[in-house]
A = this chain, B = another copy of it.
Amino acid sequence: MSAAVSIREVATLAGVSVGTVSNVLNRPDVVATATRERVLAAIGELGFVRNESARQLRSGTARAIGLVVLDVSNPFFTDVARGAEEAATEAGHAVILCNTDESVQKEARHLELLAEQRVHSVLITPADPSLEPVHKLRERGVSVVLLDHPAQLADACSVSVDDHTGGRLAVEHLLVMGHRNIVMVNGNVNRLYQARERYAGAISAMTDADRPADELGVVEVPAFTVAAGLAAGEEILARTPRPTAVFCANDLLALGVLQSMVRAGVRVPDDVAIVGYDDIDFAAAAAVPLSSVRQPRWLIGHTAAELVIAEAQEHGADKPGHHEHRHVVFTPELVVRSSSDFQRSKVRHRTTKRSSGR
């Protein structure tokens, strides 16, 4: 009901000019203490709230950064988002979270909206492999940081995790555990960079171990979700001979596969070993704790936000165009738990017996 109160009304109530009120808000040190307090009192009395639109119009750019992810429902991305938000908040920026569900159309629409908002910058896990909307954004002068995407391909900073190594670590581990019939549950290799790299890493582990590449089967899924993992699990169960190990490109898939194994009475890891990717919290908390390739989720988001803020500062202070794009690459780490480790799962079984014996 109460109409929006502007800086002008504050000024008249405090008996000063609008410029002074603006100074109180933005450079409090240049205004005398007495006046400042008078203005602040007026602000409180009127319940004045800055109009961010007007600020942005004046300054040309918003104090917000867009974060565009493939799936908000995936805990991996919410953790990345938390990291980004923390870094952004420190620098006085807000984060606008956008979800694409891997859809090129949704991605384009979100980027369009973000461009209209004149966001400070955009952190994005691209859904469109052509990166065309990303380039368009850069042409419009918006800083972009690519998440989980190859550094060299685009004229932008990037933060990623070495997916090739990640895939290799997982399959090396399974080979060491003696598995000779492994299947990888993966997304579309042409569409998603992560899917491509993790598969390549897996293959390199096979060749390094002098195993023929065709010992690594593939089940392609339409999405990185638990439901898709369940379907993949059914397909794996139907295969003869049944694979003895499954490497999933993502923990949600792994949880789905695990679930279909348990439902079918297939023991994990005794009959089938499973390794996931991302090491989300649900992985450790699964009924058969899931081995997984850990990525520094929070750090990815945090670093990306820091990078983009730094880029903007350089760009502003120094000569424009002088910015050197940085490419941060983290190294993933294999976390072995019961789902792929016979020894660990034995410990669990012993505990089981003891407990049920009392």
Contact = CB atoms under 8 A, between A and B. Distances in A.
Given A53-B57, A72-B72, A262-B287, 6 more contacts: A47-B140, A53-B118, A72-B97, A73-B78, A256-B285, A264-B351
B259 A285 contact: yes
B354 A265 contact: yes
A52 interface: yes
A1 interface: yes
A123 B289 CA distance: 36
A141 B264 contact: no
Contact of A285 (B140, B255, B266, B352): B255
A218 to B, nearest CB: 22
A258 to B, nearest CB: 7
Nearest to A321: B1
A335 to B, nearest CB: 16
Contacts of A1: 139, 141, 320-321
Contact of A57 (B57, B320, B352): B57
Interface in A226-272: 226-227, 230, 255-256, 258-259, 262-267, 271
A133 to B, nearest CB: 13
A91 interface: no
A56 interface: yes
A355 interface: yes
Given A49-B115, A75-B73, A116-B51, A265 B351 contact: yes
16 contacts: A2-B139, A4-B141, A49-B140, A52-B116, A53-B57, A72-B78, A73-B79, A75-B75, A78-B78, A96-B96, A225-B281, A258-B287, A265-B356, A266-B355, A282-B282, A286-B286
A304 interface: no
A55 to B, nearest CB: 8
A112 B348 CA distance: 50
A30 interface: no
Nearest to A355: B265
Given A73-B75, A113-B94, A282 B255 contact: yes
Interface of A: 1-4, 47, 49-54, 56-57, 60, 62, 72-73, 75, 78-79, 81-82, 85, 94, 96-97, 99, 112-113, 115-118, 136, 139-141, 225-227, 230, 255-256, 258-259, 262-267, 271, 281-282, 285-288, 320-321, 348, 351-356
A356 B356 CA distance: 21
Interface centre among A4, A47, A79, A285 (most CB of B within 10 A): A285
A287 B267 contact: no
Q: Which of A73, A94, A255, A265 has the most CB of B within 10 A?
A: A265
B141 A2 contact: yes
Nearest to A256: B285
